[in-house]
């Protein structure tokens, strides 16, 4: 898929653990970017973000993050989102412990 | 050291109970995130990139062994078994869960610690010289004043919603180890006519608009500290800009209004409120001072460092870099480096914190300091105990002999943890330290302060590094800008940008070129990097940093 087309995931931090989470197709939340729902329709993205923001008992600071849709799942386009999906570089903590 | 009064203890314990209720209401949905966020920030709880982060104040950098042990226990029980010491003498836990934070705060309160005002537009942890009470060049221990300011500023109703955060640093020595000139208020102890007082510096700061503070009063008697500082903060509270976050710090207020206007307003306010200070503050200061009496130093015969000639070369190398002369006969100040080559600057594991606590109890009159340079200090070690201290440190992987050298790098958490960061700091620090360890040149290079920030907010103090590195985003990748010639000491100076930034894979070779270039440029082996830079100016250093451009020109 060309990188200039609309392709987003919804991500946030888990209220209880603070962990990075992603919205999946059933509207629930998952820990891995590879399980996130990729949204290619701007109107659906807007509606989904509103839905995510309505779940403030689960998710904090939800936002739309740019991705490219790869064969093995979405891939981040910005290095900040990449770090969020992978955990810190100095210790095998966070996402690296899953 | 200071011990909480029942008033202090009640305040901290009540705050924990309040926060416990607030967390419960957030978790049961009674509070929205917008309602809860300012409450958690008032208690030092941030939501960062991967997790919550709890920032705990270490007032003026002083801890006893019990407190250090409790930090170790907290990190094991509720975090991932380590803590990160910061450039403002705080400790940060990077992985707490929201529901555990009230228990963590309760555990802190048990050892007279808290996380109050480690965030928000309030007066933050008052920092001090990390050699306080031990330095040879000290006029007096600055910590009683720092503790007085801590008590006065904690929950001060007038100063809970300042235009922006507010940082105070105090030093009692002629050598400025507390970076007083880049704080909102810097207090530097001086004497005049046999009386001790403070030079009051205002409006310093780093961040996107770095400024060296200006002298507001060249001599303020000690007894006027509280009304005078209150006058400064009160003038700032009214005059500081609230329309633009980037122009809200007092450095901008001073810059826009001029130091004379600020001085006139502060002096007027001071005259107005001074009569309200009828001696209670001085009585309290007297009580606080009693807590900071010097320990009962041993008069036992102490070996000189020359007497250690039979110790291992590793011990002697460590003694060369990590010891500082002490004001008491027979004693030394021991700096424990948290900058192992390849490690994360400022991090200590729970096991290491336990070892440090035990060493403080056994060998340092139960005292520890945390430095703004992210190291730990055993302030009062009898020289006869140095080999035993060294062996214990070495066994705990804490004996890196690099204090003040190029690998003793200050680095903020950067984009590995911080949600404000624009690039990573930690891997750059790790790679630079590892590279210079491989080159085996750092002792030859000598004193060199290298400081790295992962964004323009400058928590890593890059502006005052002899070599500063600022991580930014350029065209979708991490990019690192070098500044040269900064200085955090008495002749505080903001470094100058050397030129275009370097990519993440180019910054370490660039630093290597720069430092190897310095070795060629220095007049002799005694001329430090900063001295060479001051003597020669930026041009030859830029030439080694950007050789291709030189050729093109």
Q: What is the DSSP secondary structure assignment for residue A97, as one 8-state letter?
A: G
pLDDT of A3 > 60? The answer is no
Q: Which residues of chain A neighbour B33 with C-beta distances below 8 Å?
A: 15, 56, 60-61
Answer yes or no: are the C-beta atoms of B447 and B376 closer than 8 Å: no
CATH 3.30.413.10 in chain B is located at 142-290, 410-552
Chain A residue numbers with beta carbons less than 8 Å from the beta carbon of B344 are: 90-91
Tokens standing for residue B124: 């933050």
CB burial class (10 A; 0-12, 13-18, 19+) of residue B160?
A: middle
Compute the average pLDDT of residues B375-382: 98
Chain A residues in contact with B416 by the CB 8 A cut-off are 83, 88-90
Closest by Cα among B377, B521, B540, B334 to B445: B521
Q: What is the mean pLDDT of residues B427-452?
A: 97
Model confidence over B245-269: pLDDT tens digits?
999 999 999 999 999 999 999 999 9
- CATH code 3.30.413.10 for B410-552: yes
Task: Give the per-residue pLDDT at B431.
Answer: 98
Q: What is the pLDDT of residue B61?
A: 98
pLDDT greater than 70 at residue A2:
no
Q: What is the pLDDT of residue B552?
A: 54
Q: Which helix (H) or strand (E) holds B110?
A: helix B101-110
Contacts of A41 (CB under 8 A, 6+ apart): A6
Mean pLDDT of B353-365: 98
pLDDT of residue B549: 66
- The helix-helix angle for B386-395 and B313-322 (nearest 10°) equals 100
pLDDT for res B174: 86
- Taking the C-alpha atoms of residue B230 and residue B157, their distance in angstroms, rounded to an integer, is 12
Map tokens 């900071």 to a residue: B292
Residues of B in Cβ contact (< 8 Å) with A56: 32-33
**Average pLDDT score over residue span B407-422:** 98
Element (H, E) at B47: strand B45-47
What confidence tens digit (pLDDT) does each residue in B509-527 have?
999 999 999 999 999 999 9
Question: What distance in Å separates residue A39's CA from the closest CA in chain B?
Answer: 22
Query: Pick from B49, B416, B477: which is nearest to A90 by CB?
Result: B416
| Residues B444 and B460 sit within 8 Å (Cβ to Cβ) | no
Contact call for residues B217 and B200 (beta carbons, < 8 A) = yes
Domain topology for B142-290: Sulfite Reductase Hemoprotein; domain 1 (3.30.413)
Question: pLDDT (tens digit, 9 = 90+) per residue, B137-155?
Answer: 999 999 999 999 999 999 9
Closest CA in chain A for residue B35: A56
Strand order in the sheet with B82-85: B45-47, B52-57, B90-93, B82-85, B347-349
The domain defined by B6-110 folds into Sulfite Reductase Hemoprotein; domain 2 (3.90.480)
Topology of domain B305-395, CATH = Sulfite Reductase Hemoprotein; domain 2 (3.90.480)
Query: Element (H or E) spanning B209, and its range?
Result: none
**Which pair of tokens denotes residue B198?**
């403070």
Measured from the Cβ of residue B29, the count of other Cβ atoms closer than 10 Å reads: 9
Rounded distance between C-alpha atoms, residue B190 and residue B140, angstroms: 9
Residues of B in contact with A89 (CB under 8 A): 416, 424, 426-427
As to burial, measured by CB atoms within 10 angstroms (0-12 exposed, 13-18 middle, 19+ buried), residue B380 is buried
- Percent of chain B surpassing pLDDT 70: 99
Q: With the CA atoms of B298, B299, B305 and B311 taken in that order, what torsion angle do they form, in degrees rounded to the nearest 10?
A: -60
Q: Indicate the average pLDDT of chain B.
A: 96
Other CB atoms closer than 10 Å to residue B366's CB: what's the count? 18
pLDDT higher than threshold 50 for residue B443: yes
The C-alpha atoms of residue A45 and residue A76 are separated, in whole angstroms, by 16
Task: Give percent helix, percent strand, percent coil of chain A, each to the nearest 5.
Answer: 30, 30, 40
pLDDT in tens, B467-513: 999 999 999 999 999 999 999 987 899 999 999 999 999 999 999 99
Distance CA B43, CA B52 (A): 12
- Cα–Cα distance measured from residue B156 to residue B121, given in angstroms and rounded to the nearest whole number: 12
- Name the minimum distance, in Å, from the CA of A26 to any CA of chain B: 23
| pLDDT in the model for residue A4 | 56
Output Rg (C-alpha) for chain B, integer angstroms: 23
Burial call A19-32: b when 16+ CB within 10 Å, e when fewer: bbbbbeeeeebebe
User: Which runs of E-coded beta strand occur in B319-425?
Assistant: 323-325, 331-336, 347-349, 367-370, 376-382, 410-411
**Is the torsion defined by CA of B271, B276, B278, B281 positive or negative?**
negative
pLDDT classification of B551: cutoffs 50, 70, 90: low
CA distance B527 to B492: 19
Look up tokens 């007049």; give the residue: B523
Structure tokens at A31: 């820990």
For chain A, say whether B185 makes contact (Cβ under 8 Å). no
Q: Give A95's contacts in chain B (Cβ within 8 Å).
A: 50
Pairing of strands B450-453, B410-411: parallel
d(C-alpha B464, C-alpha B550), whole Å: 27
| A78 contacts B98? CB cut-off 8 A | no
**Count of C-beta atoms within a 10 Å radius of residue B426:** 27
pLDDT over 80 at B550, yes or no: no
Count of positions (residues) in chain B: 553
What mean pLDDT comes out for the span B299-312?
Answer: 90
Instruction: Supply the pLDDT for residue A1.
Output: 43
State the complex-level ipTM: 0.95
pLDDT digits (tens, 9 = 90+) for B219-250: 999 999 999 999 999 999 999 999 999 999 99
pTM: 0.96
Q: What is the pLDDT of residue B306?
A: 85
Residue B78, helix vs strand vs coil = helix
Query: Which among B98, B426, B477 has the least Cβ separation from residue A16?
Result: B98
Q: Report the alpha-carbon distance of residue B159 to residue B154 in Å, rounded.
A: 9
- Segment B348-370 mean pLDDT: 98
**Residue A25 pLDDT grade (very low, low, confident, very high; cuts 50, 70, 90):** very high
Contact at CB, A19 and B49, closer than 8 angstroms: no
Distance from CA of B36 to the nearest CA of A (A): 11
Whether the CB of A46 is below 8 Å from some CB of chain B: the reply is no
Whose tokens are 């919603």? That residue is B161
What's the DSSP call for residue B364? Answer: S
Q: Which whole number is the average pLDDT over A56-84?
A: 95
Beta carbons within 8 Å of A92's beta carbon, 6+ residues apart = none
Residue B451, pLDDT > 90, answer yes
Quick check: A88 and B417 CB within 8 A? yes
B158-203 pLDDT tens trace: 999 999 999 999 999 989 999 999 999 999 999 999 999 999 999 9
Closest residue by Cα to residue B337 from B320, B362, B313, B325: B320
A-B CB pairs within 8 A amount to 71
Dump pLDDT digits (tens) for B19-47.
999 999 999 999 999 999 999 999 999 99
């Amino acid at each position: 898929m060309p990188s200039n087309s609309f392709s987003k995931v919804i991500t946030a931090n888990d209220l209880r653990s603070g962990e990075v989470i992603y919205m999946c197709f059933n509207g629930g939340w998952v820990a891995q970017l590879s399980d996130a729902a990729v949204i290619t329709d701007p109107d659906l993205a807007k509606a989904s973000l509103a839905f995510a923001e309505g779940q403030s008992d689960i998710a904090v600071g939800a936002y739309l993050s740019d991705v490219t849709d790869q064969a093995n799942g979405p891939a981040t386009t910005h290095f900040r989102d990449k770090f969020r999906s992978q955990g810190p570089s100095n210790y095998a903590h966070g996402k690296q412990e899953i | 050291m200071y011990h909480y009064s029942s008033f202090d203890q009640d305040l901290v314990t009540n705050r924990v109970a309040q926060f416990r209720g607030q967390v419960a209401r957030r978790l049961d949905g009674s509070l929205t995130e917008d309602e809860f966020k300012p409450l958690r920030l008032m208690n030092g709880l941030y939501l960062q990139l991967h997790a919550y982060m709890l920032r705990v104040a270490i007032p003026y950098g002083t801890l006893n062994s019990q407190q250090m042990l409790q930090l170790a226990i907290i990190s094991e029980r509720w975090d991932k078994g380590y803590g990160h010491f910061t450039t403002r003498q705080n400790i940060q836990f990077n992985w707490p869960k929201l529901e555990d934070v009230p228990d963590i705060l309760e555990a802190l309160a048990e050892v007279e610690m808290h996380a109050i005002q480690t965030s928000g537009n309030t007066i933050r942890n008052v920092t001090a010289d990390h050699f306080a009470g031990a330095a040879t060049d000290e006029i007096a221990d600055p910590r009683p004043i720092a503790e007085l300011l801590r008590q006065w500023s904690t929950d001060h109703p007038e100063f809970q919603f300042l235009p922006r955060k507010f940082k105070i640093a105090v030093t009692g020595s002629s050598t400025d180890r507390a970076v007083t000139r880049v704080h909102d208020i810097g207090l530097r102890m001086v004497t005049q006519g046999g009386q001790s007082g403070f030079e009051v510096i205002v409006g310093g700061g780093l961040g996107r608009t770095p400024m060296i503070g200006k002298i507001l009063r060249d001599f303020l008697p000690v007894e006027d500290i509280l009304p005078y500082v209150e006058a400064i903060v009160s003038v700032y509270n009214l005059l500081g800009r609230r329309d633009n976050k980037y122009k809200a710090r007092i450095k901008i207020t001073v810059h826009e209004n001029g130091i004379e206007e600020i001085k006139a307003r502060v002096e007027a306010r001071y005259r107005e409120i001074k009569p309200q200070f009828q001696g209670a503050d001085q009585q309290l200061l007297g009580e606080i001072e009693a807590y900071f009496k010097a320990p009962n130093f041993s008069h036992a015969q102490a070996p000189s460092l020359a007497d250690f000639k039979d110790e291992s070369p590793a011990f002697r190398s460590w003694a060369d870099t990590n010891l500082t002369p002490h004001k008491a006969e027979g004693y030394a100040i021991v700096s424990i480096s948290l900058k192992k080559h390849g490690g994360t600057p400022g991090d200590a594991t729970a096991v290491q914190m336990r070892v440090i606590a035990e060493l403080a109890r056994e060998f340092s009159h139960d005292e520890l300091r945390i430095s703004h340079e992210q190291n730990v200090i055993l302030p009062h070690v009898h020289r006869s105990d140095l080999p035993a201290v060294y062996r214990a440190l070495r066994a705990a992987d804490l004996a890196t002999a690099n204090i003040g050298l190029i690998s003793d790098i200050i680095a903020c958490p950067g984009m590995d943890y911080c949600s404000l960061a624009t690039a990573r700091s930690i891997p750059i620090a790790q790679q630079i330290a590892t590279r210079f360890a491989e080159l085996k040149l750092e002792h030859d290079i000598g004193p060199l302060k290298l400081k790295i920030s992962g964004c323009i907010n400058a928590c890593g103090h890059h502006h005052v590094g002899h070599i500063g590195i600022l991580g930014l985003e350029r065209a979708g990748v991490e990019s690192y800008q070098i500044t040269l010639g900064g200085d955090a000491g008495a002749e505080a100076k903001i470094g100058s940008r050397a030129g275009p930034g370097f990519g993440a894979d180019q910054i370490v070779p660039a630093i290597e070129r720069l430092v190897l270039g310095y070795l060629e440029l220095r007049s002799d082996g005694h001329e430090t990097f900063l001295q060479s830079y001051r003597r020669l100016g930026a041009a030859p250093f830029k030439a080694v940093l950007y050789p291709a451009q030189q050729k093109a020109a």
